[in-house]
Structure 1
Amino acid sequence: MSDEQAVDVYPSMTVVKEQENERSDKIEPLQLGKRLKEIRVALGLTLEEASKRTGLARSTLSKIENEQISPTFQAMQKLASGLEIDIPQLFAPPKQIKATGRRDVTLKEAGKPHPTTTYEHELLATQLTNKKMMPFKSRVRARHFDDYPDWIRHDGEEFLLILEGSVLFYTEFYEPVTLNEGDSVYYDANMGHMLTSVSDEDALILWVTAS
Structure 2
Amino acid sequence: MSSIAQTQTEPVEPMSQQEFVGAQLRALRAARRLSLGDVARETGISASFLSLVENGRSDITIGRLTRLVDYYGISITDLLPAPGGRDPDVVRADETRQLHSPEEGTTIFLLSSGTDRTMLPMLLELSPGASLAESGHHAGEEFVHVLEGRLLLEVDAAPPHELGPGDSAYYASDRPHMFRNASADEPLRLICIDSPPPI
Please give the TM-score of this superposition, normalised by the length of structure 1: 0.46
User: Which of structures 1 and 2 has the bigger CA Rg?
Assistant: 1
Q: Taking CA–CA contacts closer than 8 Å with sequence separation of 6 or more, which of the two structures ends up with the larger relative contact order?
A: 2
